[in-house]
Structure 1
Amino acid sequence: MSVRGRIILLFTVFNIVIVIVRPFDDVIKLGRRGPDDCKPVVVAHRGASGYVPEHTLGAYALAITMGGDYVEPDLVMTSDGHLISRHENELSHTCDVATRLEFADRYSTKNVSGRIVKGWFSEDFTLAEIKTLRAVEPLPLIRPGNARLDKAYEIPTFQEIIDLVKALEVSENRTIGIYPELKNGLYFQRLGLAMEEKVVEIFHKNGYIGKNAPVYIQSFEVSNLKKLKKMTNLRLLQLYTVSRNQPFDQAELGTGLTYLKMATAEGLANVAEYAEAVGPEKSYIIPRNFLNNLGSPTRFVKNAHAVGLQVHPWTFRAENVYLPKEFQSKGSLFGFGDLEGEIKVFLAAGIDGLFVDQPDILIRIRGQCKN
Structure 2
Amino acid sequence: MTPQVVAHRGASSDLAEHTLGAYVAALDAGAGALECDVRLTADGHLVCVHDRDLRRTASNRALVSTSNLEDLQSLDFASWKNPWADLDDEAPELDPERDGVLTLRTLLQTVADYERPVEVAIETKHPTRYGALVERRVCEALHEFGWDVAPRRGQPARARVMSFSHTALQRMERLCPEVPLVQLIEHKRHWKMLRHLVGPDWILGPGIELLQEHPKTARRIAESGHDVHVWVVNSPDELELCLSLGVRAVITDRPAYVLERLGV
Instruction: Work out whether 1:280 is the aligned partner of 2:223.
Output: no
- Equivalent pairs counted in the alignment come to 251
Aligned residue in 1 for 2:180: 235
- Encode CA deviations 1:213-267: one digit per residue, 9 max, x unaligned: 221101111111011111111001011124xxxxxxxxxxxxxxxx61x424x74
Which amino acid in the other structure matches residue 198 of structure 1?
A: R
Cα distance, 1:138 vs. partner? 5.0
Q: Please tell me whether the aligned partners of residues 286 and 346 of structure 1 are also in contact (alpha carbons under 8 angstroms).
A: no
Please state how far the C-alpha of 1:354 moved relative to its aligned partner. 1.2
Once the 2 structures are TM-superposed, how far is the Cα of residue 62 of structure 1 from its aligned partner?
0.5
How much identity, in percent, do the aligned residues show?
Answer: 24
Counterpart contact for 1:93–1:136, Cα < 8 Å: no
Q: Distance in 2 between matches of 1:312 and 1:95?
A: 29
- The equivalent position to 1:349 in structure 2, one of 242, 245, 256, is 245
- Equivalent residues of 1:47, 1:71 under 8 A apart: yes
Structure in which a larger fraction of residues adopt helix: 2
Contact 1:48 1:359 in 2 (8 A): yes
Q: In structure 1, the residue corresponding to 2:22 is in which secondary structure?
A: helix
Q: Distance in 2 between matches of 1:234 and 1:133?
A: 33
The one of 96, 102, 105 equivalent to 1:156 is 102
Structure 1 residue runs of 5 or longer lacking an equivalent are 1-37, 99-118, 243-258, 288-295, 318-338
Larger Rg: 1
Alignment TM-score, normalising by the size of structure 1: 0.62
* Residue aligned with 2:56, SS: coil
Structure 2, unaligned stretches of length 5 or more? Answer: 152-156
| Aligned pairs for 1:1-371 within 5 A | 39-96=2-59, 98=60, 119-136=61-78, 151-152=94-95, 153-168=99-114, 170=115, 174-184=116-126, 186-189=127-130, 194-212=133-151, 213-232=157-176, 233-242=178-187, 260=189, 262-264=190-192, 267-273=194-200, 276-287=202-213, 297-300=215-218, 302-317=219-234, 339-368=235-264
Higher relative contact order (CA 8 A, sep 6+): 2
Tell me if the contact between 1:57 and 1:161 (Cα under 8 Å) persists in the aligned partners. yes
Q: Give the Cα separation in 2 of the matches to 1:306 and 1:93.
A: 38
- Asked whether the equivalents of residues 232 and 252 of structure 2 are also in contact (C-alpha less than 8 Å), the reply is yes
TM-score (norm 2): 0.85
Query: 1:55 touches 1:156 (CA, 8 Å); kept in 2?
Result: yes
Alpha-carbon distance between aligned partners in 2 of 1:139 and 1:204, rounded to the nearest angstrom:
34
